[in-house]
Structure 1
Amino acid sequence: MARRKRGRRIDGILILDKPQGFSSNGALQQCRRAIDAQKAGHTGALDPLATGVLPICFGEATKFSQYLLDAEKAYLATICLGETRTTGDAEGEVLETASAEHLTRERVETAMQDFKGAIKQVPPMYSALKKDGQPLYKLARQGIEIEREARDVVIEAFDLLDFTGGERAFAQVFVRCSKGTYIRSLAEDLGALLGVGAHLTALRRTQAGPFDLSHAMTLEQVQAKGQGLAARLLPIDAGLQYLPRVSLVEQEIEKLLQGQRVNVLNGANSGIVRVARASGEFVGLARASEEGEIAPLRMIANQEG
C-alpha cells in the first residue's frame, strides 16, 4: 500500500519577501508547513544575507518553475569599496583592504558603465553551482578553489543611487539583469576595476520576472494566515503571461494530456504557448510549429485522487 503524502494537494504561486538569515529552502519549508502543502519549490535561490522577492510554487505549479528561473531579476544592493572578503559578501572573512578615500561618485559611475550590456562573468566559488555533484560553496569552505568558466550574462541596468566616500566607501546601486547573474561577482569586479577591492554588504531582490515587492508577503504574514492562504495563491500560470495563449476544444486538450500532438487548422504562434480551455482555464504548456501542430511540453496532471 502506497504511503500517503503529508500535507494537502495545493496548486499555485506565493510571492514571499524572504527575510534575512534564512536560506531559500529554509524559507520555502516554513511556507510549506504554514500552508500544509504536499509539494513546493522555489524559483531562484537567494543567499541568507539577501532579502526580497522569492516566488514559491506549490503542487502543479512546480512543473513550470523553470520558466520563472529564466526570467530577468532586479536588485537593490550596497557595495563596500576598499575591502575584499572570502565569500564576496559581509559574511566572509576579510582578505585584503585598500583605501577608497580617493574615489568619487563620478569615478564610480564611470567604472560602472563598463559592466552594462552583455558581459562575461565568472561565478563565485561561494555559490550553489556544482562540480562533479558537489556544490562549489562546500569546496570553498574546505579551502579548495577550482577554475570556473566565464558565463554570458546581460546587465540591463547598473545605476548608482547613492555614494558615501571614505576609507571604506559605500555605493548603493540598482541592478536589472538576466538569469544567472551574481551580484556578488558584479560587486567584486567593480572593486577590482577601481583598484580597491569590494564586497556586498546588503542585497534585496525587488523583482523576479513579472513579480515585484508589491506582490510579496512577509514570512510572518504567511504564518499568520496559515492554511487559509491556500485560497489566495496566484494562479499556476501567473508567471507565464508573456507566452501566447492558445484555446483548444476539449477533445484536443484530452489528446495533449495523453501525450499526443494535435493539429490546429488556423495555425498558432511557433514556439512555446500556453494551452487553455475555452473557459480560459490553464492546462499546460505546449510547443507549436509554424504548420499549426502543437506538441505537449508540460501539462497539469489530472486532479482526481
Structure 2
Amino acid sequence: VAIKKNIHGLLLLNKSTGMTSNQALQNAKKIFHAHKAGHTGSLDPLATGMLPICFGEATKVCPYLLDSDKTYQVTAKLGETTDTGDSDGTIIKTMPIKKRDSKYWKKTFKQFIGVIDQIPPMYSALKKNGRRLYQLARKGETIDRRPRKITIYKINLFKHSLDRLVFHVHCSKGTYIRTLVEDIARAAGTGAHVTKLHRESVGHFESKNMTDLENLKKVAKIDYESLNSFLLPPDVVFMNWPSVRLDSMGLNKFLCGQVVKIDEAIKGYVRVYRDDSFFGIGELQEAYLLQPKRIFHLNAK
C-alpha cells in the first residue's frame, strides 16, 4: 500500500465523460497518493473538461474557485426534452422543430445575456430539507425551486442544423447549462437537451493547462516525482489580487492570527508573502491594518 503524502497544489484535470466528479477526484487522489483532496464546481457525469482538484493546503482555495466564472462548449439536441436535461436521461417529450437560421439563433441568445433568473433543475445537488434534489427526482418527486440570479456574459453560436445547436457560453457561478439549453429552446418554440458539454475554463485558468487521468497514470508509472510538474501553487488562484511582503516579526503575528500594521496604502484582499514564500491571504483595512483571513502551511509535511 502506497504511503499517503501531504502534497499541496492545484491540478487542472480534464474530466472524461461517464464518471462523476467525485470518481475523478478519487482517481486523482490515488494516483498522487494524496492524503487530502477536494474538487471545486462539480461537472455532470456526461460533461468533460476542467475540474480543478485541490490537494492538501490548496483545499483552502476551493471556495474562491467556486465563485469563479466558467466557460463551456455546449452541444444541444433540439426537439426532445429529457428528465435530466441531458442525454443520460429518458426522453419525456418530443416537439416539432422549425428550420432556423444563424441570425434567428443569435437574436434568441441575446434574450439571455446579462443578469437573468434561472430555476435550478430537479436533477441537481442542491438541497431541500437536508436532501439532494436529484434523490427526490429519482423517486419521481418534483418540488418548487426558487429562481436564482445568474449572469450570462456571452453566448457565441458555433454551428447549427435542424436539430443540433453548438455554442460557447461564458457564465457566472451557479449556472446550470442544462436549464439554459431548455430555456433557449423554449424561447424558440421547441424543446432540447444537452448531448455534449465541455468546460473550457474556470476563472483565469485555461484549457491548455489541463491534463487527464490517463496521462497522469502513464507519468506516474515512468517517474512518480514528475507528477509534481502538473501541480500549480495555491496562490495562482489569487494572482489578480495585490500582494504584500512581511518581515519576520510581521509574519509571526500574521501566522498567529493577529492584526499586522504595514506600510501599504491599499485596501481589500491581498496575498501575503515573506520574501517569495506564500503564507496566506489577508484583508487590508483602515489605518494600514492587515487582518489575516486564511493561513497556508505549505511546508507542512
What range describes the TM-score normalised by the shorter chain of this pair? over 0.9
Contact 1:246 1:275 in 2 (8 A): yes
Q: Retained in 1: the 8 A contact 2:82–2:90? A: yes
Letter in 1 for 2:238: L
Q: Among 127, 131, 138, which residue is 1:130 paired with?
A: 127
Q: 1:230 to 1:298 in 2, by over 3 A?
A: farther
The aligned runs of 1:38-187 (5 Å cut-off) are: 38-165=35-162, 169-187=163-181
1:108 Cα offset (Å): 2.0
Closer, same or farther in 2 for the Cα pair 1:272/1:104, shift >3 Å? same
Map Cα deviations across residues 147-192 of structure 1 (whole Å, 9 max, x no partner): 1111111111111110111xxx111000001111111110010111
Counterpart for residue 225 of structure 1: 219
Q: Which residue is equivalent to 2:295?
A: 299
Partner Cα distance (1:302, 1:219) in 2 = 25
Corresponding residue of 2:284: 288
Q: 1:107, CA displacement in angstroms?
A: 2.0
Q: In structure 2, what is the Cα distance between the partners aligned to 1:117 and 1:304?
A: 44
User: Within the alignment, does 1:23 sit opposite 2:20 as a pair?
Assistant: yes
After TM superposition, give the deviation of residue 267 of structure 1 in Å. 3.2
Aligned to 2:194: 200
- CA RMSD of superposed structures (Å): 1.5
SS at match of 2:236: coil
**1:34 maps to 2:28:** no
Partner residue of 2:247 out of 246, 249, 265: 249
For residue 57 of structure 2, give the secondary structure of its aligned residue in structure 1.
helix
Question: Residues 219-257 of structure 1: CA distance to partner in whole angstroms, max 9, x if unpaired?
Answer: 101112223244211111122101111111121111111
Q: When the two structures are aligned, how many residues end up with a matched partner?
A: 296
Q: Does 1:238 align with 2:236?
A: yes
Contact 1:35-1:229 within 8 A present in 2 as well: no
When normalised by structure 1's length, the TM-score is 0.93
The verdict on how the C-alpha distance between 1:254 and 1:302 changes in structure 2, with shifts beyond 3 A counting, is farther
Higher mean C-alpha deviation, range 94-103 or range 43-52: 94-103
Identity of aligned residues (%): 41
Show CA shifts across 1:5-59 (max 9, x none).
Answer: 9610000111111000111110011011001010011111101100001111100
Per-residue deviation, 1:281:
1.2
Q: Which amino acid letter does the alignment assign opposite residue 77 of structure 2?
A: C
Question: CA 1:268 to 1:136, structure 2 compared with 1: closer, same or farther past 3 Å?
Answer: farther
SS of corresponding position for 1:95: strand
1:235-286 CA-partner distances (Å, limit 9, x unpaired): 111221011111111211111111111111x234222111111x22111111
Which segments of 5 or more consecutive residues in structure 2 lack a partner in the other structure? none
CA distance in 2, matches of 1:43, 1:211: 13
CA distance in 1, matches of 2:5, 2:197: 34
SS in structure 2 of the partner of residue 220 of structure 1: helix
* Cα shift at 1:301: 2.8
Alpha-carbon distance between aligned partners in 2 of 1:276 and 1:250, rounded to the nearest angstrom: 10
> Which amino acid in structure 1 is aligned with residue 70 of structure 2?
K
Deviations 1:192-230 (A, max 9, x none): 111111111110000011212100001101112223244
Normalising by structure 2, report the TM-score.
0.94
Contact 2:279 2:298 in 1 (8 A): no
Q: 1:149 to 1:229 in 2, by over 3 A?
A: farther
**Distance (whole Å) between structure 1 residues aligned to residue 66 and residue 264 of structure 2:** 29
